[in-house]
Structure 1
């Protein structure tokens, strides 16, 4: 880690490196002077070849700012992260005099950039000798020098901020400088017991169940109240297990005991009245996730992966026959529609949004919805209700072949 001399140490190390190496690369630059001034005053009183190294921006290093420092904390301890900084420097080259007819400034800039290219990491000895009392060389992360690409627009804004004329320059980033926090480390007391009554942690050799697929009855796209769905998977068992169904429309997940069985499949039964008198208000039509929660006595609970499960609305439609023209259609929906759910009527190939949605005071009654359809032409129209992406099933599977259910279509004459 580093103390508060770290920024100054990095700057002076770069200055010393340029001052020593550039004249060795180009012997004609033996009179070179390296300064650390703002660009608007860097050239005052100087006429010889010059490099001005200006620290123009200091930014937080996002990768290090929230990390515990290695070798500073142990497992379970917390400590304030170090102040992690990236230093942005502008290197400006000047020739001899103001005219620079021999392009000396170009030679200065090329030698400076070549020096930094050959020294991408600041040396430990160079840092230690740059400033007395600094410990930047002791931090475990080395300070790396990288060129910064700047567009013409960025250069224009930068030199406008300096309030001086543009000079040939190159930008570099020095990363990372870690300044140690002086706040104390917080360490928890030693552990006296592990697990209840100091018996140690509980281990189990079993593995959680894995769900692979859901099969709905009659190859439907969703499950209705009163129907069964089959869940295929691995390590499935109905003993000490429940299906956990979750939805953002419910205040809490709902647990359902599987039908007896196990192995590679289990049956989920979604009870309807009168078997479950509260089914209309317990559920909401729409999309859910289902997982198998296993709770063996005396062992930790094991939760399987989740699969998407759709609960379809069961609807009634009135009237089932009407005259051509404007049509007022009324539907009932079970389970009940909840506040905020997205409801769409699919009438043949048309869609409509509800004019009104009403939930009776009796929670055992379904939701009533009213739709207004304009200029309906003669024909037979299957009716579906889509709630949060789950569609009602307008198909009758009782015959030898599936057919549209007569009570879920409207005949317009």
Structure 2
């Protein structure tokens, strides 16, 4: 999720990039971000000025849904922007030779750094969350004709200086409007036959082809019954070796995680069991090590023979959050003129714990309630994105009394609501709450 600080984050990141790259060539000068008519306060130092003079929507992203939104959900599209910067160099005591030297070096820096890295953006302005954007941000030299350049500088009402223009795109600013999320479909096809895929090509190396979840679900969760049934099964070809390791990699975690157990494996399948959540008070418990969301899973296969390790392709799996239904409580405030029903506050506990940087919301029927993390202590910890929470609160306004189905969504993955263990699929009755 990218908030309204994204534009400021791009400008600050570019300024820091130029400041580090120019180094001693600036001397006592620096990199500024002022309008051209106010950029030069004195003639003494060397100076590079970077001014955001124009922005426009990116038509390629204007009507595109974000990847973490499912088909059929009515969610507002993000605001996609192209940013246009004017870069001007000033030499010490208005020495044009020094100005040309600074401009050439600055253009070389942007030529060598055509993409803004997530680490640079996070260091520049971590509150923007721009470093979590799904699309990379690219820097492109934008050549202008002499007529376009003349019109641009005429609008500044200042003396023309040799300069370069750049386009920085795409910057996605998420909408704050709530989305409408209908309940999931219970059956696909007649008698819930679904879609059948039958591969016809056998590959000579270890390959993962499909992921089968427990009870026909679309995700897995921590805390399934320990009855010897695998939580998920990786199916493929040539999954045989003396030692087989399975690695789960979450995009927000630096260290891959491993399943608790690999059951009776075959050359065609790897049945896996995930660990139990454990005690939330223990920082080493699985509930504090795993995160809900999408994982990349792969198998590393080694043999006693003098052969190199073989690594399969990666498959995507979804680890769903689990609502501990016995912890769900509802508090209703008195009615007001703005809210005739009174504001409802829902509290719940979930496993695994939720990281502060994750996108968390509660789906109450067809309403989506955003989670606002608690205020940070003063001073805030250095690793604020890794703070974990097991107890969550959500506020609902103008919501009439009644029974509502609950789904907790973390990074685009919903908690399990459908029961597939019976002949006729249905909603889990424990995942329902009554609002007074």
Instruction: Please tell me the TM-score bracket, short chain as reference.
Output: 0.3 to 0.5
TM (norm. structure 2) is 0.43
TM (norm. structure 1) is 0.45
The higher radius of gyration belongs to 1
